Amino acid sequence: MTMETEKKMIEVQNVRFVYPHNNEEENVIALDGVDFHINKGEFVGIIGHNGSGKSTLAKLFNAIIFPTQGDVWVNGFNTKDQEHLWDIRQTAGMVFQNPDNQLVATIVEDDVAFGPENLGVPPLEIRTRVDQALAIVEMQAYAHQKPHQLSGGQKQRIAIAGILAMEPECIIFDEPTAMLDPSGRREVMTTIRKLNQDKNMTVIHITHYMSEIIGADRIIVLDKGKIVMEGTPETIFKNVQALKKIGLDVPPMTELAYELRNEGINIRDNILSIDEMVEALCQ
C-alpha cells in the first residue's frame, strides 16, 4: 500500500450501477461514471434530490450492493472481494434512515452489543465497548430501556452507538434525519459532528437537508446518477440557481444573500450562517 492509498478511506473509481429490469430497455441507471475519493478524518456531505443515486452510493460503500462497472475501495479493500466483506463492513459502519427498522434487540444495551457480538468480540470487551459507545451518544441512562419507548432521535443515537461499538474508522449516514422531528434532527446532528471533530471519525453524511452539511469539509452534489458539483460548502452553495434547478434548496441565509445581490446590494455570495449574514450586513 502506498502513502496515497493509506490516506484514502473510500475510493470510488468510475462507478456505474444499474438496477436490472426484466425488460432491458427499462433498466434503471442509478449511478453513471461516478468518481471521487474520501480522505481519512474528512466530513463529506453528499446531497441530491430523490432518485439522484445517493442511497445507492451508500449501499455501495458498505458492500451491500456491488458496482455494475468500476470499483469501490474501502480502506484499501475492494468491495467485490468477498474475503474482506466483514472487514469492510466493520471499517465502514452504516446508519440508515428508519430508526425503527435497524434496532434488533428488545433492550437498548443488547442492541448496541449486536455488532461486536457478530464480530466475535469476547464478552467482557463487548461490555466496555457498549458502555463507551452509549457514553459517546449520551444515552447511558437508557441502557436498560426498550427501543420502542424512545423518541426517534434517541433511537437513531442508539443506532449510532451500535455502529460505534464495532469500532469503525468511518461511518456512513444514509439520510439519518429524514424521519425525525426538528429536535431529534438536532440531537443526531450534534452527535455526528462530535464524532467527526472529537473522535476524528471519517463521516459521510448523505442528506437532502443543506443546513446539515454547512459544516462539512467537502460537499458532493449528485443529480441523475452523476456528480454535478464538488467542493467546499461556500463554493457549492453560492451556485444558488444551479442548485435550485436540480431541485435542491440552499441554506436560507445563502438564498437571502443571493436575493439581495439580485436586488443590487453588494454583499458576499458565500454566506452560510446567520452570524455571517449579520457580520456582512453591518459592515
Binding site for other proteins (CB under 8 A): 59, 62, 64, 86, 89-90, 93-94, 96, 98, 100-107, 109-110, 113-123, 126-127, 130, 146-148, 162-163, 166
The vertex-38 CA angle with 241 and 269, nearest 5°, equals 25
Closest approach, Cβ 46 to other proteins, in A, equals 17
Nearer to other proteins, 155 or 238 (CB): 155
Q: In whole angstroms, what is the distance from residue 126 CA to residue 114 CA?
A: 9
Nearer to other proteins, 62 or 254 (CB): 62
267: exposed, middle or buried (C-beta count within 10 Å: 0-12, 13-18, 19+)?
middle
Nearer to other proteins, 150 or 216 (CB): 150
Closest approach, Cβ 75 to other proteins, in A, equals 15
Nearer to other proteins, 28 or 104 (CB): 104
Nearer to other proteins, 90 or 196 (CB): 90
Closest approach, Cβ 151 to other proteins, in A, equals 13
Q: In whole angstroms, what is the distance from residue 258 CA to residue 264 CA?
A: 10
Closest approach, Cβ 278 to other proteins, in A, equals 42
Q: Note whether 56 and 17 are within 8 A (CB).
A: yes
Closest approach, Cβ 130 to other proteins, in A, equals 7
